[in-house]
Amino acid sequence: MTDTAVAPSGAASADVPGFGHFIAGECVESVSGETFESRNPADTRDVVGRFQQGTAADVAMAVRAAELAAPRWRSTPAPKRGEILYRFGALMAEHKERLARAMTREMGKVLAEARGDVQEAIDIAFLMAGEGRRMFGDTTPSELPDKWAMSVRQPIGVAGIITPWNFPMAIPCWKMMPALVAGNTVVFKPASDTPHCAVLLVELMVEAGFPPGTVNLVTGRGEDVGDAIVDSPDVSVLSFTGSSATGKGIAERAARRLKRLSLELGGKNAAVVLADADLELAADGIVWSAFATTGQRCTACSRVVVDRRVADELLARLESRTRRLRLGSGLDETVDVGPLINARAAERVEGYVDIGRSEGELVLGGHRAGEGDLSNGHFFRPTIFRDVAPLDRIAQEEIFGPLLSVIPVDGYEAAVTAVNQVRYGLSAAIFTRDVNAAFRAMRDFETGIVYVNAGTTGAETHLPFGGWKETGNGHREAGRAALDTYTEWKSIYVDFSGRVQRAQIDNQSAG
């Protein structure tokens, strides 16, 4: 799609490349005739490209293409579908550096993390490629003689994949790889902040051999493209990662048609530090999980729940490490923290700093960074508040930025109460040398992911990923569990007795 990706006319000016939707194997312009720009958040003078402003009519075409491609794709043996996923994973590995650099330019995360994002996409491609040869169901005895019973997974149909900008390659692959290996076809709507990352992925998918119509890309706004995908009667399964507010809206719309829907929503992840913890390790783990990706991970640590007896010692370590973090363009390998994604994000974090001033004590940061090279980007200083109470707003609401609240408590029980006293339940961590306390936390945290002696980020693709409470709706991404979102179970009974056998009636017990 590299050549055809450039829109046939109108969209591109001399030095800004234009990109089309990708529908039925073709690069097409939006029926709206409108385009939008994607800009580098570290330097907004840098325009990455112009992209199609999609409409419901574009979505209808993409859904139709996915429907037409479905019979051939679902009848392709799953191991053969898996081979295409392998090729796609290998192509991403081959192009890893190019993809990572493009990601840093469009989304802002530092290069090391962008490489990690691409690696996570490669990992899930390879994991799901292997599922093409597994996709196991059960075979099991029947309660009746001369009868055979088994369960198999089958594809659902067209999958609508709506993804965020913070992991612009990993998250689309978390969703598309299981959907595709299971035999579904895809309509993919990436976040408006990262359409170029999506185009680059789809280019490589085409090169890997996904047949035309199997994967269709429609760029544009959530209220136009996203809603049209959610409402389409011909899209049978939806997967969305984003805010809880948007997720609830999607759930309501999807419920009208009883669609399968997987939601990955907000988080308010806590790291507990007990009095016996290795404070050096705790400080390293917390700073990494709070300020990497500029705090813009669903899994980011935004609360430190610390035993009051070591709060000052921990805080001193957090403060000195955070002061040393270098802000700047993620393309500069010496930079630790890149920009926020856009101006709205910077305003939101600023708003939470104002709220925080009346709740805790500001220790560090609390404002945008606009000096010198930073003046053209959405930079925000890593920010720490101390003496925050568990029910304060900055300790309760998802901020999605570099703002960390330190909450002192008295002992383990109070720490667990604080960890669980939020609407969300994605990830939590505990730092302790006490094995009993670690096991209690593994049992007591109401989160989908628990870390012992590590920060709250760093999920690997072969384990289920997702959260409790308002973080989701019970589904999981990644791991084998991801297949549950994209398949229907079919239970099959084969009776070779040659007579009518009535289950539950003709199966008298041996005694």
Give residue for tokens 């796609």. Answer: 88
Least separation in angstroms between CB 241 and ligand UN1? 6
Residues, the chain, total? Answer: 511
Question: What are the tokens at 446?
Answer: 């109401």
d(CA 380, CA 401): 8
Position among 30, 53, 163, 166 found at the interface with ligand UN1 (CB under 6 A)? 166
- Of the two residues 167 and 424, which places its CB atom closer to ligand UN1 in the complex? 167
| 297 binding ligand UN1? (CB under 6 A) | yes
Residue 471 near ligand UN1 by CB under 6 A: no
The answer to whether 120 contacts ligand UN1 (rule: CB under 6 A) is: yes
Strand 269-273 vs strand 43-52: parallel, antiparallel, or unpaired? unpaired
H or E segment at 495? Answer: strand 487-495
Based on its alpha-carbon atoms, the radius of gyration of the chain, rounded to whole angstroms, reads 24
458 binds ligand UN1 (CB under 6 A): yes
The amino acid at 300: A
CB of residue 406 vs ligand UN1: minimum separation in angstroms?
21
Q: How many alpha carbons lie under 13 Å from residue 370 in its C-beta half-sphere?
A: 6
Contact between 291 and ligand UN1 by CB under 6 A: the answer reads: no
27 is known as an active-site residue: no
SS3 at position 200: helix
Stretch that binds ligand UN1, among 41-49, 310-318, 372-380, 454-462 (CB under 6 A): 454-462
Alpha-carbon distance values, 498 to 148, 207, 211, 509 (Å): 13, 51, 44, 21
> How many residues touch ligand UN1 (CB under 6 A)?
10
C-alpha triplet 200, 240, 101: angle, nearest 5°: 25
345 lies in the site for ligand UN1, by CB under 6 A: no
Distance of CA 380 to the CA centre of its chain: 23
Q: By rule CB under 6 A, what string of x and - marks binding of each residue 235-274 to ligand UN1?
A: ------x---------------------------------
Query: Given the rule CB under 6 A, which of 56-64, 149-157, 293-301, 315-323 is the region that contacts ligand UN1?
Result: 293-301
Segment contacting ligand UN1 (CB under 6 A): 89-97, 296-304, 362-370, 395-403? 296-304
Query: Which one among 61, 159, 162, 298 touches ligand UN1, defined by CB under 6 A?
Result: 298
Catalytic residue among 131, 264, 359, 398: 264
- Produce one character per residue of 480-507: b if its CB has 16 or more CB atoms within 10 Å, e if not: bebbbbbbeeeeeeebeeeeebeeeeee
Query: Rounded to an integer, what distance in angstroms lies between the CA atom of residue 58 and that of residue 39?
Result: 24
> Is-contact 149 226, C-beta < 8 A?
no
Q: Which is nearer to ligand UN1, 184 or 241 (CB)?
A: 241
Yes or no: say if 289 and 300 are a contact pair by the CB < 8 Å rule.
yes
Least separation, in Å, of the C-beta of 92 and ligand UN1? 16
Q: At what angle do helices 170-181 and 78-94 cross, to 10 degrees?
A: 160
Asked if 447 interacts with ligand UN1 (CB under 6 A), we say no
Indicate whether 459 belongs to the interface with ligand UN1 (CB under 6 A). Answer: yes
From the candidates 27, 173, 197, 298, give the one annotated as an active-site residue: 298
Angle between helices 78-94 and 111-131 (to 10 degrees): 160
Q: Give the one residue of 244, 457, 471, 485 binding ligand UN1; rule: CB under 6 A.
A: 457
- The smaller minimum CB distance to ligand UN1, of residues 363 and 478, is found at 478
Between CA 215 and CA 70 the distance in angstroms is 10
Write each residue from 347 to 376 as x if it is in contact with ligand UN1 (CB under 6 A), else as -, in one continuous string. ------------------------------
Strand partners, 22: 27, 217
Residue carrying structure tokens 């005895």? 141
User: Does residue 122 interact with ligand UN1 by CB under 6 A?
Assistant: no
Choices 294-302, 342-350, 468-476, 495-503; region in contact with ligand UN1 by CB under 6 A:
294-302
Task: Provide, rounded to whole angstroms, the least separation between the CB of residue 422 and ligand UN1.
Answer: 17
Closest separation in Å from C-beta 478 to ligand UN1: 9
Taking CB under 6 A as the binding criterion, the range among 39-47, 203-211, 226-234, 455-463 that sits at the site for ligand UN1 is 455-463
> Smallest distance, Å, CB 4 to ligand UN1?
31
Tell me how far, at minimum, the Cβ of 164 lies from ligand UN1, in Å: 7
Please name the amino acid found at residue 431: F
Is there binding between residue 167 and ligand UN1 (CB under 6 A)?
yes
Question: Which of 61/459 has CB closer to ligand UN1?
Answer: 459
CB of 265 to ligand UN1, least distance (A): 10
Any alpha helices (H) in 182-243, and if so which ranges?
Answer: 195-208, 227-231
Shortest distance (Å) from residue 298 CB to ligand UN1: 3
Alpha helices for 364-511 (secondary structure H): 411-420, 435-444, 482-486
Angle between helices 78-94 and 195-208 (to 10 degrees): 120
264 is catalytic: yes
- Cα→Cα distances 264→244, 370, 457, 464, 489, Å: 8, 33, 15, 12, 22
Residues of this chain that interact with ligand UN1 (CB under 6 A) are 120, 166-167, 241, 297-299, 457-459
- Any idea which residues carry the catalytic annotation? 264, 298
